[in-house]
Structure 1
Amino acid sequence: MLPKLKIISYLSAADWWVFGGVLALTLAAALYGNYRKKRSQNRALDYLLMGRQLTLPLFVATLVATWYGGIFGVNEITFNYGIYNFVTQGLFWYIAYLIFAFFIANKVAKYQSVTLPDLAGQMFGPKAAKVAAVFTFLYITPVAYVLSLGLFLNMAFGISVLQGMLLGTLFTCLYTAWGGFKSVVFSDLVQFFVMCSAVALVVVFSVGDFGGLGFLKAHLPSSHFSLTGGNSLLNTFIWGFIALATLIDPSFYQRCFAAQSPSVVKKGVLISTLIWFCFDICTTTGSLYARALLPQAQPAEAYFFYAVQLLPAGLKGFFIAGILSIILSTLNSFLFIASNTLSFDLLRHRFKNVVLSNRLSLFAVGVLAIALSQLLHGSFKEIWLTMGSYFSACLLAPILGGYLWPGRISDNLFVTAALSSAAFMTLWKLLPLPPFWAQFDAFYVGVLTGGLILFFLRNKKGAYVKSVIDL
């Protein structure tokens, strides 16, 4: 393989035409989406949820595309630990998707909610809505994804990571603010096809040039074919619990609230799961080839540089457009959902114009995400573990408890369980613990705390809490 250079040095005129064409098509789709779909009578609902008219093909495309913005994080985990990535970032999540499709989708459909905190407010009360909004905002603020975008532009064009984050986030905010959720969905449609094709091409050319499984086994450590990748079982299973965050994931719920019917949600999640399985096979396999052929590369960057050196002219441009699509499709969704949470759930009563406040919030969230990316100096794995574990541990038990025991969890009990989980998790992280107890991650403590509080203090009988929130 060639020595590492900036990606721009590998690109031909054909690559630039392909890359520019995909970028232009994405922008055109975002603008087209704003004019194509019929507007509902409620302008805010039209902007936030596309008037609840999301069809099955669009549901699948936008849901799949949204899920992979941390592509460099996935590459990093595979480079360091092998197929452990497929277990922790794939297998556990497929189980969660199936649980959602068969047991949660219909329950969500009973509520005509706009956001996840709005749903919590209808299920439990206004205090629960505010607490859920705070945790959702902290979780969905796209720190890892603006960082991914900055790294991409740095590797591709040689500009600094900070400049890449600023330029890329500004571009994403502009086209997302233009048409709201419709712009997100239609740009995701283009990005879905490009990203899936790009990662499949890497596998096809890798097998053709170097051989299959035999080549990988001969050039990789044996631990890369272990399900735990050398990590402890407790560390591995943390990801299984974090994957259950899918059951309360804001981007999942946003698509459910926007779908035409519960059947669209169920079928869409099942189809998406199959596509995710194939996509994960491709990204994990491609990253293993990168580890085998560029063992001295930076873990998060190896796959990117490997693929650009592997593919022929024209397809190099298509591949980097695919990587950019992976990042943008998640970044635009997370920016939009975070801005919804800020403007609709936390500050709604301060602004009369929901659409305008959401657009302003988009740019505020972008600035915050960039600032946090400068403060949080850690790997993608650590960022995901920290933010994902707090969100999951504090909200998973209360919201699932609302499905299991409708009307038996009060507003105050929801708040008590969520905040207690956060407090005990933080104490567990800060206190010096004996070796035996230290091996248990704070995430387990948070989930157990919230679960026990809900189980023992829930009402045997209670009035069903529902306060429908009108836009």
Structure 2
Amino acid sequence: MIGYKVWAIASLIIYFGVLLILSLNKKGNKSNEDFFLAGRSFPHWALALTFVASWFGGTSALVSIDQAFEEGISAWWIIGSPSVLAAIVLIFFAKFIRNVGSISQRDIMEKRYSKTAGFLVSIIVIWYMITFASSQTVALGKFFSTMFGTSYLTAILIGVAIVAIYASIGGFRAVVLTDIAQFFLFTLGLIITTVVAFQYSGGLDNILAVTQQPGKENYLNFFANFKQNFFYMLSFGMAWIISADAWQRISATKNVKEAKMMPFGGFLIFIPLYILVAIIGIAAGAIYTSLPEGGIVAALTLDYLHPFLGMVVFLGIASAIMSTMSTAINSGALYASDFYTRYINPNADGKKMVQIGIISTLLISLIASIVALRIPDTLWVLWLSSDILAVGVVTPLLASFLWRRGTSIGAVTSIIVGSSFVLYNFLIDLGFKLPLFWPNGTERILIGIGLSLFTFVIVSLLTKPEYDKADQLMTAARVDDMSTEANFVSIPEGVLAETESASSLEKK
């Protein structure tokens, strides 16, 4: 164990140094577009890798493997299926997102509906990104504490400090560059872990024999526990379709063609990655009789791997978690900065906005750590973050591209009703003695989405149409022009117009 601690600490120090070098790029951040979209300079394949890295975090690398160990191959539906589903849907919405050209969904909601709708979405998305970052912080804290032999608090402080420093120094460009490096690291780590798990399981016959154990009859049944897993897929999938980090990457592409290729590339990568996750979990079922403390990956690393290979796996899993953390923190900072520009200081220049971006990054890192310390359950925190986005925002946001008859009052009412439903359930989950009028399980996501959709449609039909605003946005979103000249929604007024980046964008 001592040897592993030395290897882990040494490798983490080296790894942190590499991340800092990648973050300290020569091309400075002169504007919001530079800090949050990297000047739209990355090709689609690079953004596809960072798209995968931004989602394939603690819940995929650790929680999903542990779930597969306990439930069998059907655990793929919990995280794997919503990732694939969201990537497929984003392929079809990529053209709309890129043509609109907004740096935030707040801007879309405000131009399509009203300032109130934009304000509410900003609050919800910031909350989502903080809690999403918190879910990864929980996973990182548990993994580091096991590998280092430290307390949960110390492990969180180490991990969050690393992520906050490199994300605040380089902005989105640093996130993309480090994500690419982290993608290859965690893929290598998964491959090594898969080989080791399969080798020490004793082979396919031993894995098949697990189904003979009491309670493991459906271990290799892909559709076992489908009802519960379906609602996980619905909640996570609906939220991730409109996740700010995914839209940020689509907006950062050079043109519409590359915008479509970005989620398509992610779709192709997600499938084999989650197959590896499932194999590791079910193979471990033939090695361990109960879930080891610290999880399957940490146990396999400490029990069966040489310290050098253990270092590779350690860095691979750590990089998977930290890449997702950095994305959540950067996207949350994007919305916090956008909120500052729109509602606090509309005249802020590019330099000021970069400063606000750095401050927001550090502040969100701090809040995420506090939430992780209060609620040390990765899956619960992830569920909490996804529900409010899926129920509160999905309906009016997607309808802004699809339904001309939707109105501002309908959107605002839908957001309030949907978000209130989620928060009410959250209070019940925390132990508040409130009356419950519906099943208190994963199926409540259907009720929440149904309430939000019903409210939006009925209130929109009862209020005055806003066809002019709808036509402007929908026309811009559907244009086939691959250039940025057709964009309707721009990055916040007064921020980029004075920068060279915005000027060159207009010339194109």
TM, length-normalised to structure 1: 0.88
Give the structure 1 partner of residue 67 of structure 2. 77
Against the structure 1 CA distance between its residues 341 and 45, is the aligned structure 2 distance closer, same or farther, given a 3 Å change threshold?
A: same
Q: Distance in 1 between matches of 2:272 and 2:229?
A: 25
Q: Distance in 1 between matches of 2:387 and 2:181?
A: 32
Instruction: Give matches, 1:30-179, under 5 Å.
Output: 30-31=23-24, 34-35=25-26, 37=27, 43-70=31-58, 71-101=61-91, 103-141=92-130, 142-179=133-170
User: Could you tell me which amino acid in structure 2 is paired with residue 164 of structure 1?
Assistant: A
Q: Distance in 2 between matches of 1:154 and 1:241?
A: 30
SS in 2 for 1:314: helix
Tell me, yes or no, if structure 1 residue 328 matches structure 2 residue 328: no
Give the structure 1 partner of residue 499 of structure 2. none
SS in 1 for 2:467: coil
SS in 2 for 1:297: coil
How many Å apart are 1:180 and its aligned residue?
Answer: 0.7
How many Å apart are 1:84 and its aligned residue?
Answer: 2.2
Q: Distance in 2 between matches of 1:72 and 1:438?
A: 26
Conserved 8 A contact 2:396-2:411:
yes
Q: Distance in 2 between matches of 1:446 and 1:78?
A: 28
How many Å apart are 1:91 and its aligned residue?
Answer: 2.7
Give the structure 2 partner of residue 245 of structure 1. 239
SS in 1 for 2:100: coil
Deviation string 1:20-67 (CA, Å, 9 cap, x unpaired) is: 544433332222xx32x5x68x52211111112221231122111111
SS in 2 for 1:47: helix
**Which stretch shows the higher mean deviation, 459-468 or 307-316?**
459-468
Against the structure 1 CA distance between its residues 426 and 313, is the aligned structure 2 distance closer, same or farther, given a 3 Å change threshold?
A: closer
Conserved 8 A contact 2:406-2:466:
no
Tell me, yes or no, if structure 1 residue 27 matches structure 2 residue 20: yes
Tell me, yes or no, if structure 1 residue 415 matches structure 2 residue 412: yes
Q: Distance in 2 between matches of 1:387 and 1:48?
A: 22
Give the structure 1 partner of residue 450 of structure 2. 448
Conserved 8 A contact 2:197-2:300:
no
Identity fraction in percent: 20
Q: Distance in 1 between matches of 2:210 and 2:43?
A: 45
Deviation string 1:76-113 (CA, Å, 9 cap, x unpaired) is: 32232222221221134313311210x20111112121
How many Å apart are 1:124 and its aligned residue?
Answer: 2.2
Q: Distance in 2 between matches of 1:390 and 1:440?
A: 13
User: Could you tell me which amino acid in structure 2 is paired with residue 256 of structure 1?
Assistant: I
Q: Distance in 2 between matches of 1:446 and 1:299?
A: 36
Against the structure 1 CA distance between its residues 299 and 452, is the aligned structure 2 distance closer, same or farther, given a 3 Å change threshold?
A: farther
Conserved 8 A contact 2:38-2:173:
yes
Q: Distance in 2 between matches of 1:341 and 1:92?
A: 24
Q: Distance in 1 between matches of 2:455 and 2:201?
A: 55
Give the structure 1 partner of residue 277 of structure 2. 283
SS in 2 for 1:412: helix
Against the structure 1 CA distance between its residues 170 and 457, is the aligned structure 2 distance closer, same or farther, given a 3 Å change threshold?
A: same
Deviation string 1:254-280 (CA, Å, 9 cap, x unpaired) is: 101111112112112112212111111
Give the structure 1 partner of residue 289 of structure 2. 295
Give the structure 1 partner of residue 479 of structure 2. none
User: Could you tell me which amino acid in structure 2 is paired with residue 401 of structure 1?
Assistant: A
Conserved 8 A contact 2:235-2:383:
no
**Which stretch shows the higher mean deviation, 200-209 or 250-259?**
200-209
How many Å apart are 1:211 and its aligned residue?
Answer: 4.2
SS in 1 for 2:237: helix
Instruction: Give matches, 1:178-217, under 5 Å.
Output: 178-217=169-208
Segments of structure 1 that go 5 or more residues without pairing to the other structure are 1-5
Q: Distance in 1 between matches of 2:380 and 2:402?
A: 32
Q: Distance in 2 between matches of 1:438 and 1:9?
A: 47
User: Could you tell me which amino acid in structure 1 is paired with residue 34 of structure 2?
Assistant: D
TM, length-normalised to structure 2: 0.82
Against the structure 1 CA distance between its residues 433 and 153, is the aligned structure 2 distance closer, same or farther, given a 3 Å change threshold?
A: closer
Q: Distance in 2 between matches of 1:12 and 1:371?
A: 28
User: Could you tell me which amino acid in structure 2 is paired with residue 421 of structure 1?
Assistant: G
Q: Distance in 2 between matches of 1:268 and 1:388?
A: 22
The CA RMSD over aligned residues, in Å, is 2.6
User: Could you tell me which amino acid in structure 2 is paired with residue 317 of structure 1?
Assistant: M
How many Å apart are 1:308 and its aligned residue?
Answer: 3.8
Give the structure 1 partner of residue 306 of structure 2. 312
1:338 pairs with one of 299, 315, 332: 332
Conserved 8 A contact 1:29-1:190:
no
Against the structure 1 CA distance between its residues 223 and 192, is the aligned structure 2 distance closer, same or farther, given a 3 Å change threshold?
A: same
Q: Distance in 1 between matches of 2:227 and 2:413?
A: 31
User: Could you tell me which amino acid in structure 2 is paired with residue 386 of structure 1?
Assistant: L
User: Could you tell me which amino acid in structure 1 is paired with residue 68 of structure 2?
Assistant: T
Give the structure 2 partner of residue 3 of structure 1. none
Give the structure 2 partner of residue 384 of structure 1. 382
SS in 2 for 1:114: coil
Tell me, yes or no, if structure 1 residue 424 matches structure 2 residue 412: no
